[in-house]
Amino acid sequence: MPTLRLIACLTMAVTISLVTAPSRADSKVLRVVPHADLTQLDPVFASIVITREYGLMIYEELFAWDSKLQPKPQMVESWNTSPDGLTWRFTLRDGLKFHDGQAVTTADVVASLKRWMGRDLVGAKVAAVLASIDPVDAKTFELKLKKPYANMLFALGSGIGQIPVIMRARDLDGDPAKPVTTSIGSGPFRFNREARVSGALTVFDRNPDYVPRAEPADGLSGGRQAKVDRVEWRVIPDAATAAAALQNGEVDIWEQPALDLVPLLSQKPGVRLQRLTELSNQTMLRPNSLYPPFNNPKARLALAYIVNQGDVMAAGFGDEHFWRRCNAYYICGGPYGTETGAEDLKPDIAKAKALLAEAGYHGETLVFPSTHEIAWIGHMAEVVADEMKQAGMNVDIVWADWGTTAGRQANQNPPSAGGWNMFVTGASGPTMHHPLTNLGTNMACDRKNFAGWPCDEEAEALRQAFLDADEAARPAALEKLHRHLAEVQPYRVLGQYDQPVALRANVTGLLSSPVIVYWNIDKN
């Protein structure tokens, strides 16, 4: 009878052989176990992290956040603003070419920004103050505003949500609500469509025509130098197999190692661990506010009294060394990490049942899509569902792969017609740390906000008041905003966790950034 260890090793060998892509004998290949398979190829259509990683490999933005989340020029060479703050003029840097050899022009920029402003929460705030956007010539374009907007460069460099990458204008013809599938960018890597094996392998080749900026790489900003010839994302769903592959050198990076294996990996020669960002990640239970019962804020507030953060986070991440309880929408430990109004949100089933009754819930089936493909999501969903059942809620977990689960989240149909009632997910600290970028607290009543689509005009007025406030007035504006959010609960904060990246010791250059990027990384 073979041991479990032998079975894992045999599985690893089979997996590696299946996903190995041919490459030149002298090429430098970085082999990565990604946190999920790539199923969506448009980072302006989907906000899921794996698609954002892909987008940052092959596309570029006008600006980019550095490791301190400050915007720095990326595709832009120079810019200026009129004295009244109403006109912004930008000039593109030299050497920008798409992977098909065509020069990037301001026609591409204008088309890309218009689409982004119609799809992303950060872009929507730019659209709200925009009077016009027009090319001046092939390298210069102008934004004219209705009122000054201090967050303009921060927005154009956004590294969260649907990121404002620049695509070819001709790829954006047609229905703006449909995803782009051409994968022709101007970034440091090219997507190798021929090598793609769904569920197993995604390949990126170094773009030999790419001209990086001269500045050192810093976060998402600076010189995006591809130091390897090829990056291969090899999907290995089994954690033990992925760990063995990393220890044996078959892979170089494991994006999200299982936390129960981190203590073991930390003691292995040839392996090291590194935090991606100083801000902890946030997990959430997101209810669907379009349909009963969660169209009523009392039902959403009931979830806050049902969920035991300690139980849920322990199920997802194990040892409390890796996670913490937190009721701050804008990240405990971040610059806006207040818990005002949410200090007393602790399990209280009696109070939860009373709130559910006031909301008109009478035991109707609640559809809960989830996945085991990302282990912590599945484990947390199971505990949340059990706690909801204890409060008298009728929960039906629908298990699927991550791509299917994430795709279903965009479905605005009723739960009985392919929609849903709630799901568990998470987002990076840099995404959630700021009222502008936190996708879950955008409660605009346009159904263009993050899946769940909560509508609350008062919350949006308070969020806008914070964004318009100067530094001296922001603390008071933040307190008012957070107190209201704690009452209406656009989502239940489940807690925060620190997810290290596991690397071979000979891999260098991993940058501190909102998501993993693969330029600047080298292997010796």
pLDDT in tens, 307-334: 999 999 999 998 888 899 999 999 999 9
Q: What's the pLDDT at 21?
A: 56
**Residues 59-83: tens digit of each pLDDT:** 999 999 999 899 999 999 999 999 9
Tokens of 522: 């080298």
Q: What's the pLDDT at 188?
A: 98
Q: What is the mean pLDDT of residues 224-253?
A: 97
Does the pLDDT of residue 7 top 50, yes or no?
Answer: no
Three-state DSSP class for 78? strand
Q: What's the pLDDT at 3?
A: 36
Q: What DSSP designation does 479 have?
A: H
**Residues 415-433: tens digit of each pLDDT:** 999 999 999 999 889 889 9
d(CA 417, CA 305): 29
- Identify any residues that bridge with 422 across adjacent strands, giving them in sequence order: 287
Q: What's the pLDDT at 4?
A: 35
DSSP 366-427: EEEEE-SSSHHHHHHHHHHHHHHHHTT-EEEEEE--HHHHHHHTT--S-GGGT--SEEEEEE
Q: What is the mean pLDDT of residues 248-263?
A: 93
pLDDT band of 22, cuts 50, 70, 90: low
d(CA 62, CA 77): 9
Q: What's the pLDDT at 16?
A: 44
Does the pLDDT of residue 103 top 50, yes or no?
Answer: yes
Name which of 62, 41, 59, 61 is nearest 50 in CA terms.
Answer: 41
Contacts of 461 (CB under 8 A, 6+ apart): none
Pairing assessment for the beta strands 507-508 and 500-504 based on DSSP bridges: unpaired
Of the segments 67-71, 365-369, 371-375, which one has the largest average pLDDT value? Answer: 365-369
pLDDT band of 20, cuts 50, 70, 90: low
Does the pLDDT of residue 196 top 90, yes or no?
Answer: yes
d(CA 391, CA 357): 11
Does the pLDDT of residue 344 top 80, yes or no?
Answer: yes
Instruction: Identify the residue with better confidence: 318 or 184.
Output: 184
- pTM exceeding the 0.95 threshold for the entire prediction: no
Residue 348 burial (CB < 10 Å; 0-12/13-18/19+)? middle
Contact 168, 44 (CB under 8 A): no
Contact 198, 235 (CB under 8 A): no
Q: What's the pLDDT at 12?
A: 42
Name which of 73, 25, 32 is nearest 50 in CA terms.
Answer: 32
Q: What are the Cα distances from residue 252, in Å, to 502, 505, 519?
A: 8, 9, 14
Q: Give yes or no for a cis peptide into 292 (omega within 30° of 0).
A: no
Instruction: Identify the residue with better confidence: 119 or 134.
Output: 134
d(CA 221, CA 70): 9
Q: What's the pLDDT at 15?
A: 45
**Residues 509-522: tens digit of each pLDDT:** 999 998 999 999 99
Q: What's the pLDDT at 27?
A: 82
pLDDT band of 26, cuts 50, 70, 90: low
Q: How many CA atoms lie within 13 A of 26 on its CB side?
A: 0
Q: What is the mean pLDDT of residues 171-180?
A: 86
Q: What is the mean pLDDT of residues 27-38?
A: 95
Q: Which domains does the chain have, with CATH numbers?
A: 4-39+193-276+500-523 (3.40.190.10), 60-172 (3.90.76.10), 281-497 (3.10.105.10)
